[in-house]
Structure 1
Amino acid sequence: MRFTIEPELELFAESVRGALAGWEAPVEPVFGEWQDDRDDALGARLAAIGWGELWSDPDLLGPAVAGGVELGRACAPLCLIDEATLGVPLAIDGRVRHGDGRAEGGDREPTLDGTGTLRGVASAPSVPSDPTRLRAWGAVTLAYLAGLADGALEKAVEHARSREQFGAPLAALPAVQAHLADAAMARDGLLLSSWSAADPETGFPRDSLAWAGSACREVTAHVQQVHGGIGFALEGGVHRYYRRAKTVQVWTDALLREFS
């Protein structure tokens, strides 16, 4: 399914793509070690196009969602979402996502993905109660997950069309087509949920977020199946989407439990 967005939103999405041009997420994790994919130069380029100002006005949720999708496609650092919308790193139950280890303190915690998580932060802020910030965070997180799913699926389609097996492209095999179809359906659902959350009347998208993390992880799992063993090889980069989707899911589920 193709989604047509308003021209001004497409222009902002294009600006975000321009800011992301030349930036590439780290491919190889260092398992068991603390990591942080924060990139100050990338943050500055996004700030120059007004990325950090979109949380303050509910009418700007459309551009925020358009930009969030692009950040997800690029597997961009999660601090770009948290600090732009919440104003601070996301903190839940003494853990801080994307803490840089300087201002927040605490112990550096090895994680599944390079999110720079700190644990045991006594002064960690609680989940923000500002409804405008929370609504923006929820909408952009949905958009980020949709972008992750879309970027991963794009890689799978490209791989299935270019690689041959049994004398035909992988895309001609019914099993591969089924994986791609299931992934596309979930991806479309994520995109629709994102644009629905951009409506200032929607409020905090609790129900969509409760589903979105597992849906995005499901897409990335289908993508890995299409790639076969290559999907688990660090050189290909497909693993980044699965790890990032799972990381976002874990943090989103934890935040939703704070509201239960």
Structure 2
Amino acid sequence: MLIDYPFGERLTAIARDYQDGAHVEPHRHSQAQLLYAAEGLMRLVTSQGAWVIPPTRAVWIPPQVEHEIFMSGAVRMRTLYLAPKFEPAGLEGCCVLAVTPLLRELILRAIDAPRGEAAELVERLLLLEIASLQHLPLALPFPADRRLRGICLALLKRPEHPHTLEDWGLEVGASSRTLARLFRLELGMSFQEWRQQLRLTEALPRLLAGASVQRIAAELGYGSARAFSAMFKRLVGENPREYVQGLKKEQLS
């Protein structure tokens, strides 16, 4: 399904709200899209992978990429569609971006702003700010190889699954050495790194829903809350409690 929106000179801003559990069916746009979660958590899924968008974060979606969106909690979605000649450089694929306080206010202003000189200034500032955003490690790439895909799909259903790569090799009919090479070749990361990334994307909605670190660690196959927190801090830069507290402060500010 192709969905298009009319442009201003540079971009169009649209606001939509969704209930917990809502699903936006697969579709694509001829415009590039910046999808922002003012409240709630969204999961973006394409044929190439999945991206988790926590509150106060955004995901960049290039033109013509078919995608679907799953809502976790009540979601206030705020979206920008950019005219092709104004797409920032360096954003060739889908990625999660850290939204600055300035960008958040500019997005909200763009939705409410009338046309005219003020709107033009907001548009220019938006484009400059988007181009400078920090990329966040909240992506989960999917492989094309059928053996890797079988492993990844099984882990999506059970992120806590304890199988080693040797165990998976027996199930899919390939040596652990072959699978390790394919993970590096297709996904640019090891099996362990991919599984950690999966568990991180599974942890975020549970943390935001108020589950304890101890419970999440046990549900995702970690031997202790300390081990889970160490993984989380290594990938995100903050421990789980600090990360959630920071998100809540950003939403209130």
TM-score range, shorter chain: under 0.3
The structure with the largest strand share of the pair is: 2
Which protein has greater RCO, CA pairs closer than 8 Å, 6+ apart? 1
The structure with the largest helix share of the pair is: 1
Q: TM-score, normalised by structure 2?
A: 0.26
Q: TM-score, normalised by structure 1?
A: 0.25
